[in-house]
Amino acid sequence: MSTGSSSSMASHIVGYPRMGPKRELKFALESFWDGKSSAEDLKKVSADLRASIWKQMSDVGIKYIPSNTFAYYDQVLDTTAMLGAVPPRYGWSGGEIGFDVYFSMARGNASVPAMEMTKWFDTNYHYIVPELGPEVNFSYSSHKAVEEYKEAKALGVDTVPILVGPVSYLLLSKPAKGVEKSFPLLSLLPKILAVYKEVISELKAAGASWIQFDEPVLVKDLESHQLQAFTEAYAELESTLSGLNVVVETYFADLTPEAYKTLVSLKGVTGFGFDLVRGTNTLDLIKAGFPSGKYLFAGVVDGRNIWANDLAASLALLQGLESIVGKDKLVVSTSCSLLHTAVDLVNETKLDDEIKSWLAFAAQKVVEVNALAKALSGQKDEAFFSANAAALASRKSSPRVNNENVQKLAAGLKGSDHRRATNVSSRLDAQQKKLNLPVLPTTTIGSFPQTVELRRVRREFKANKISEEEYVKAIKEEISKVVKLQEELDIDVLVHGEPERNDMVEYFGEQLSGFAFTVNGWVQSYGSRCVKPPIIYGDVSRPKPMTVFWSSTAQSMTSRPMKGMLTGPVTILNWSFVRNDQPRHETCYQIALAIKDEVEDLEKAGINVIQIDEAALREGLPLRKSEHGFYLKWAVHSFRITNVGVQDTTQIHTHMCYSNFNDIIHSIIDMDADVITIENSRSDEKLLSVFREGVKYGAGIGPGVYDIHSPRIPPTEEIADRIRKMLAVLESNVLWVNPDCGLKTRKYGEVNPALSNMVAAAKQLRQELASAK
């Protein structure tokens, strides 16, 4: 195997998808977790995938090929393992951290819960949040970074090992339970740097010539003492880094002038990486002053979307940068890790040729990076550039992209804030008269377990192996089973379980115009969980009802309220690959109008409770506070558009998960939903702190009472305890009892007892409330 290009063509990939082109790692992980395969089997699948990726990049001609990007769960958890920062509850007694401890931290086990999981910046990827405090004894406890480097080297590929930077690691952490919330995490810097020095020394001894530190926290709004921590950290590492080339990589947004100055002044650092797709203002900082003799890793190929690069525009930008930093110091790179995009367009057999010509997945982006590097060095592939220009022109002029009627409807939204006419308190009164729910009503978030049989039915229907009649019969039977189960459990507001849906966004996108779909365009969300984001290529509208048949069918099976289940416009937007030829908010308003049509049709069909999930609203919040206001204004407005036309007696729910909501609580209130269910259990109930601080929330609210992302079954008393904590800060007449999220990833053997315990806890608290009167 070759070792990549050794010429002046400088090309670099920040990171690469790890699940494999056909989700090989996902299936290997799940087989291992289910006890069907061994640790050695899992390691072999991952080693084969790594070898394939390194060979692919090497064959293309990439000079700086990454290693240690291949996490079994996520790269922050890998760093926690490297540092030996295992919370005491996992019973780790030292030594090299194995799969048992690693996956217990990520997923929990039968006796202890998992660590908190939250979104990775403003992406749909997640990471396990480190729990730190003054008592943590850091020690070098996972040699994965060195092992992967050696593994690649044995295959003939010299890679750039990637480490999560020490300052970003600490600033992405939280104080452990029992540690003061005000504990200064950066005070742990000297302790973790001692471990980083060991890792660096081993990498150097193994023959590494470059190391990459990912410090994405630099793009956030940082205080002066936080910026100072970067200066101190790299000054401390300088002597250990001596003899190595070091690149510090940033991504996802612009840097402030202060952060930029701090970054380019770091000691012991050879080069600096910037996202020049989402961080276009950083260009001005580079033009105003870039340190002489340093490398600039220019992230011009978008690592977060699937559109083909405008090669001519990128080349012009790079040529401008070349005049600033020098020909031999400019490296063509991706804007961030390609982890956030699909793997390979070659695997797409059902996309039509026109749309396919507009796209580039991870494998194609590697080729784009190399083509740009070759063009810079005077070896421009004219045919490749011409084909790219033709594809861009085709997309711009295609009649499939523009729908004049949709554009007029969206333009007509201006001038109204689309609020329901009656306040939430009056609406809740009207709804209670109609629904007659008990205090602390119980519900679930939407999905029920997706069994092997259910997946088979959907797969065979899509492949035309069973008739529509057979498919409808099978789905109705599944709905009937889920409805009966909920009635037996005595849940108050039911769901139909979403058996007809593989994915909450994909399902709606398939029925909306302006969307395209892939066969293998999978992207990792967390652990083994992968999603297949739709591609929004044109104006969006709803040709016909999407969920009314299934919701009406489910409601006909029970006298209890049945929730209609929809995905909200902001979440559809944030969980799709979005067109980049118009502002995101314009696309979002188009989706909102389509969902509005569906909401009104559900109401006409007799569905009195409609849930419009906005799981990803917080996720899309820009990383810089100066941009929050505009985003929240159009995102919240989009949600209100969907349900502005319903009657007071129709109860509108929404759901949000796995993010820090406290800083946007006023925007959540401004959404004006009747009930919100929201993640709470895995984050140590930090959501409740906002209510302890005096925020008044008059609508219904269901902070999750147990974590569905863990197989652990919470006991009744544990759930009852959680409800008591909620009642200390929320009125009993607005509190709902529900899990954190949908149940599709769980098994019925876990779901049934967990929901049974949840209902029992709610009934126990109802009795306590009644006897306290």
The model's pLDDT over 423-462, given as tens digits with 9 standing for 90+, comes to 999 999 999 999 999 999 999 999 999 999 999 999 999 8
Residue 678 confidence class, pLDDT cut points 50, 70, 90: confident
Rounded mean pLDDT, 344-356: 93
Rounded mean pLDDT, 466-483: 96
Closest CA to 75 of 113, 12, 136, 18: 18
Contacts of 487 (CB under 8 A, 6+ apart): 494, 558, 560
The vertex-198 CA angle with 193 and 202, nearest 5°, equals 145
Report yes or no: 303 and 335 within 8 Å, Cβ to Cβ: yes
Contacts of 136 (CB under 8 A, 6+ apart): 85, 176, 188, 191
The vertex-339 CA angle with 707 and 532, nearest 5°, equals 65
Secondary structure of 408-446 in the HEC alphabet?
Answer: HHHHCCCCCCCCCCCCHHHHHHHHHHHHCCCCCCEECCC
Tokens linked to 396: 């711009």
What's the confidence (pLDDT) of residue 684? 56
pTM (2 d.p.): 0.90
* Mean of per-residue pLDDT scores for the chain: 94
Closest CA to 593 of 544, 547, 642: 642
Rounded mean pLDDT, 669-683: 86
Please enumerate, by residue number, every residue annotated as part of a binding site for 5-methyltetrahydropteroyltri-L-glutamate: 26, 124, 529-530, 575
Residue 3 confidence class, pLDDT cut points 50, 70, 90: very low
**225-276 pLDDT, tens per residue?**
999 999 999 999 999 999 999 999 999 999 999 999 999 999 999 999 999 9
Range in 61-75, 278-292, 495-509 with the lowest mean pLDDT? 495-509
Radius of gyration (C-alpha) of the chain in whole angstroms: 26
Alpha-carbon distance 466 to 56, whole Å? 39
Please enumerate, by residue number, every residue annotated as part of a binding site for L-homocysteine: 445-447, 613
CA 742 remoteness from chain centre: 16
What's the confidence (pLDDT) of residue 1? 37
Closest CA to 188 of 140, 135, 150: 135
On the question of pLDDT at 644 being above 50, the answer is: yes
What's the confidence (pLDDT) of residue 4? 40
What's the confidence (pLDDT) of residue 222? 98
User: How much of the chain, in percent, has pLDDT values that exceed 90?
Assistant: 88
Catalytic residues: 709
Residue 658 confidence class, pLDDT cut points 50, 70, 90: low
Domains and CATH numbers, the chain: 424-772 (3.20.20.210)
List the beta bridge partners of residue 488.
none
Please enumerate, by residue number, every residue annotated as part of a binding site: 26, 124, 445-447, 498, 529-530, 575, 613, 655, 657, 666, 670, 679, 741
What's the confidence (pLDDT) of residue 687? 67
Please enumerate, by residue number, every residue annotated as part of a binding site for Zn(2+): 655, 657, 666, 670, 679, 741
Tokens linked to 231: 């200066």
* Burial grade of 9 (CB within 10 A; 0-12, 13-18, 19 or more): buried
What's the confidence (pLDDT) of residue 685? 61
DSSP state at residue 346: G
**740-762 pLDDT, tens per residue?**
999 998 999 999 999 999 999 99
What's the confidence (pLDDT) of residue 184? 98
- Helix (H) / strand (E) containing 611: strand 609-613
**543-572 pLDDT, tens per residue?**
999 999 999 999 999 999 999 999 999 999
Report yes or no: 304 and 361 within 8 Å, Cβ to Cβ: no
Tokens linked to 306: 């699937």
List the beta bridge partners of residue 331.
297
Report yes or no: 610 and 653 within 8 Å, Cβ to Cβ: yes
Report yes or no: 523 and 531 within 8 Å, Cβ to Cβ: yes
